[in-house]
């Protein structure tokens, strides 16, 4: 199996996991903080794990810049959620 085929498989798994697990969970957290809530330990652990998983994907993403917008969008969602949670915790 060459590198391109391996990358395609890894990307397919990454996108499927994002669609089925990561994005729905991010949407739940976004709704929670937009409703005035704060992130709990479970939420933070999830964000930490997915951030670390994404970091491990950097070499693949560097070879496939067509996924830059997706990666950037996820990071922006994380930032939005964490910022809003911090704001809510100060209230």
- The model carries a pTM of 0.83
**85 contacts: CB under 8 Å, gap ≥ 6:** 33, 37, 38, 39, 43
**What would the pLDDT profile of 15-61 be if each residue is shown by its tens digit?**
999 999 999 999 999 999 999 999 999 999 999 998 888 888 888 88
């Amino acid at each position: 199996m060459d590198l391109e085929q391996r990358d395609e498989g890894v990307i397919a798994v990454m996108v499927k996991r994002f669609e089925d697990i990561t994005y729905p969970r991010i949407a739940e957290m976004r709704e929670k903080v937009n409703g005035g809530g704060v992130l709990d330990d479970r939420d933070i652990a999830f964000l930490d794990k997915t951030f670390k998983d994404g970091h491990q994907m950097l070499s693949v993403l560097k070879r496939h810049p067509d996924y830059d917008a997706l990666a950037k969008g996820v990071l922006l969602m994380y930032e939005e959620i964490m910022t809003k949670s911090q704001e809510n915790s100060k209230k």
